[in-house]
Amino acid sequence: MEGPLIPILTLIGFMFLLLGFGVWVALALLGVGIVGMVFFTSSPTGPLMVTAIWGSSNLWALAALPMFIWMGEILFRSRLSDDMFEGLVPWMTRLPGRLLHVNVLGCGIFAAVSGSSAATAATIGKISIPELKRRGYSERMVLGTLAGSATLGLLIPPSIILIVYGVATEQSIARLFVAGVLPGLMLVGLFMGYVALVAVLRPGSIPPLTETYTWRDKAQGLLRLGPVVLLIAGVIGSIYSGIASPTDAAAVGVLLALIMSWLSGDLNRKTFTEGLMAAVRTSCMIAFILAGASFLTMAMGFTGIPAGLARWIATMDLSPYALLAALTVFFIILGCFLDGISVVVLTTVVVQPMIVAAGIDPIWFGIFIVLVVEMSQITPPVGFNLFVIQSLTNRNILVVARAALPFFMLLLLAVGLITLFPEIVTYLPNRM
């Protein structure tokens, strides 16, 4: 380990210095790559940087990213999210916990069409928080179910962070999407199970049933859910069946979202422009980060640091479980200070050789890292979901974090389950 120790410490220190001064993540990645190339190699920095940036930008798989982001922005500005919430209400009133399940299922469904954790929290939160508080539900449970369930936006396909991981590690995005289906459904089940358990153990936390719904109301609810469910089925089903690639499915998803928004009367010049520009801004930010990460990856290869780290891990003779436990703690701590996409691109270049050396399936590891990043989204001081919910409620962020704590523990349980039973992740992609 003595060989790569000085370069590692130098580059890590320089990275934290840049991030501490508030330098953009993309520029920090480029800066660290330049320092690594200049001081620890004799290779030409400029030409290699240009090659890396162009190579990371000229990828057909990356075209799916702005399309899925745009699809989510279109739906975010339409009344389809309201229809989805109202459509779920008649079906949830008889379950223990009643309308708290609407938060969980609403986030799960919207996550499948937005791919963004923050967008899911903002959209469902704007509808559910005032409505559930008006009906007398515990604020702690309302905020907790929203904060925890909104993290599903990172996992349930189409997931933006899975696209980033697939591009960064050269893994199949279609297989990653399919791999996220069963873990996503498992999390929905865990969250709903917890809500039901709390309702049974503490019945006073759930207000009494004051409204009844007929089968006609439930049928009308299904009609409201229909457009969003069809959109999800069209996108995910076309990928799983092999009819369309993720990029093709994203284009179809945008078209369907535009049609649905137009039919609902919400599509006009203003909403179209706002959605398109928001998608452009987010896509450019992610593309810029990926470009910086690509150059850093190339620079690390020339310095020999990843190979040295892999040899060092091999000499420690760590079991895969011990390695994953250490990485879980590392990712949670890092995720407290950086957004999920930055965590993935910052760590992939160093972690990937360790994973390969330990014999861990990179598709499985992609789902693992997303689950751990989900945990960091509801961990102070920089849990993005906590900030979104704080802005909706004006509550102290520690109050929101305390409400989200049980769901953090459920996410930790989910990490343990996919580690003990990796088939939860690998079953579907192995049958594509």
Mean pLDDT of 353-382: 83
Per-residue pLDDT averaged across 69-94, rounded? 77
Instruction: Find all residues with CB under 8 Å of 173, minimum gap 6, and list them.
Output: 61, 64, 162, 163, 166, 167, 246
The Cα-based distances of 385 to 115, 129, 161, 388, 391 in angstroms read: 14, 14, 15, 5, 10
d(CA 116, CA 99): 23
The pLDDT value recorded for residue 228 is 78
* pLDDT reported for residue 410: 93
pLDDT top residue among 191 and 252: 191
Alpha-helix runs per DSSP H in 359-429: 362-376, 384-393, 397-420, 423-426
pLDDT bin (cut points 50, 70, 90) of residue 194 is: very high
pLDDT given at position 382? 58
The model's pLDDT over 28-74, given as tens digits with 9 standing for 90+, comes to 888 888 988 888 888 888 888 888 888 777 767 677 778 877 887 78
Work out the burial of residue 242: count CB atoms within 10 Å of its CB; fewer than 13 is exposed, 13-18 middle, 19 or more buried: exposed
Q: Which phi-psi region, left, alpha or beta, contains residue 44 (left: φ > 0; alpha: ψ -120 to 50)?
A: beta
pTM summary value = 0.73
Instruction: Indicate whether 116 pLDDT > 60.
Output: yes
Give the total number of structural domains in the chain.
1
Q: Return d(Cα 71, Cα 255) in angstroms, integer.
A: 8
* pLDDT number for residue 187: 92
Backbone angles phi, psi at 13, to 5 degrees: -60, -40
> Which pLDDT value is given to residue 309?
61
Range(s) of the domain holding residue 63 = 2-431
Joined together, the tokens standing for residue 191 give: 């969250």
How would DSSP label each residue in 56-74? Answer: HHS-GGGGHHHHHHHHHHH
pLDDT digits (tens, 9 = 90+) for 295-352: 877 887 787 766 666 566 666 777 888 888 888 887 877 766 566 777 777 777 778 8
CA dist 262 and 342 (Å) reads 35
63 burial type by CB count under 10 A (0-12 exposed, 13-18 middle, 19+ buried): middle
Residue 92 has pLDDT above 80, yes or no: no
Say yes or no to pLDDT of 4 above 60: no
pLDDT digits (tens, 9 = 90+) for 251-306: 888 888 888 888 888 888 898 998 899 888 878 877 787 788 778 778 877 877 66
The pLDDT score that the predictor gives to residue 21 is 82
- Integer Cα distance of 154 and 376 in angstroms: 12
Query: How far apart are the C-alpha atoms of 254 and 252, rounded to whole Å?
Result: 5
- The reported pLDDT for the residue numbered 190 is 93
Distance between CA 37 and CA 299 in Å, rounded? 6
Instruction: Report percent pLDDT > 90 for the chain.
Output: 11
209-231 pLDDT, tens digit per residue, is: 767 777 788 888 888 877 877 88
Q: Per-residue pLDDT for 430 more than 90?
A: no
**pLDDT at 385 (0 to 100):** 76
Contact 353, 306 (CB under 8 A): yes
Q: Is 35 helix (H, G, I), strand (E, B) or coil?
A: helix
DSSP annotation string for 71-116? HHHHHHTSTHHHHHHHHHHHHHTTSTTTTHHHHHHHHHHHHHHH--
Residues whose CB is less than 8 angstroms from the CB of residue 96 and which lie 6 or more positions away in sequence, other chains included: 195, 196, 197, 199, 200, 206
Read off φ and ψ for residue 363, nearest 5 degrees.
-65, -45
What does the pLDDT average to over 142-150? Answer: 88
DSSP 11-28: HHHHHHHHHHTT--HHHH
pLDDT tops 60 at residue 186: yes
Q: What is the pLDDT of residue 314?
A: 60
Q: How far apart are CA 341 and CA 348, in angstroms?
A: 11
pLDDT at 338: 63
What is the pLDDT at residue 5?
Answer: 65
Measured in degrees and rounded to the nearest 5, phi and psi for residue 382 equal -125, 50
Q: Token pair 């407290």 is at which residue? A: 336
